[in-house]
Amino acid sequence: MAVPLPKEPERDEETPEECVFRPVRGPDGRWSIEQLPLTLDVLLHPRKDDHVPQSDPHTRILNPLVDVLRRYLERQRQPDLAVFTDLLIIWGVVGLRNVSPDVSVVEGLADRRAVDRSLDLGEQEGARVRLVVEVVSPSSKLQRAKDEEHNPEVFRRAGVEDLVLVYPPRPDGTEPLRLKHLSLDPGGRYREARPDRRGRFLLRSVGLRISADGDRLALEDAVTGDRLLSSEEAEAAAYRVEIRAASEAAARREAEAELARLREEVARLRAR
């Protein structure tokens, strides 16, 4: 059973800048949250209920992406694909350590609703991770080493088809948001993919194209070329359509009223 974690764990003055919040059960059976220094070993061997505080850029990039992916899969009615965040993946393969990617798309789950904070693929026949997206920390050398040096080999050995590394823009504007896409070739090796002329990378695992759009990520349907909207963007678009429709309806009513007035005027003049 998963242990509920506080939404906003508070740090004290003695807590290091990089830390992990981990639930620990005491001798009396009660749970408490411990603040531990973040080390490479902790990052490479995460536990199910570990919580590493994320930066605002990290959240601003991932939240819309997850929303768009989930909306797309629901609209396409692809029950075999599910999107997760910070899911501890237990590969069930000897020598392959567990990982907890920022975003993972998993195929072949018998019941996605039964998945909480961890997924044991050894217990899910036919299930596999198709896509992983990681936001690379611009300030943490430890997390950067995890994302760039250590975890890609795990994903390669596990057969993850598409791995996208996202580099947030610098606050001073000196570096824009950029992407690195590693695609699994037929020989089981990762090859760094090249973007097309519009800066888009093809994610064959989900049939989408991904690119940087200002300080956020953009997704397009690889077949139709349609840009996928987040819930917020879809609501804004629907509101604009409603306003335009209301404006056009009001204009029609005014035109009809003016036409009726002119007809009455013509009839009055003929009656003289």
pLDDT in tens, 23-78: 777 788 787 777 778 778 878 888 777 777 766 778 889 999 999 999 888 777 66
What is the rounded average pLDDT of the residues 109-116? 78
- Residue 101, judged by CB atoms within 10 A of its CB (0-12, 13-18, 19+), counts as buried
Separation of alpha carbons 271 and 145, rounded Å: 91
The yes or no reply on domain 43-228 and CATH 3.90.1570 is: yes
Instruction: Map residue 139 onto helix, strand or coil.
Output: coil
Instruction: For residue 251, give Cα distances in angstroms to 99, 237, 238, 242, 257.
Output: 59, 21, 20, 14, 10
Separation of alpha carbons 155 and 157, rounded Å: 6
- The domain ranges of the chain are 43-228, 230-267
> Looking at residue 76, what is its pLDDT?
72
Instruction: For residue 232, give Cα distances in angstroms to 25, 56, 58, 236.
Output: 40, 18, 18, 6
Q: If you average pLDDT over every residue of the chain, what do you get? A: 82
Q: Identify the band that residue 14 occupies on the pLDDT scale cut at 50, 70 and 90.
A: very low
**CA Rg value for the chain:** 26
- pTM for the complete prediction? 0.75
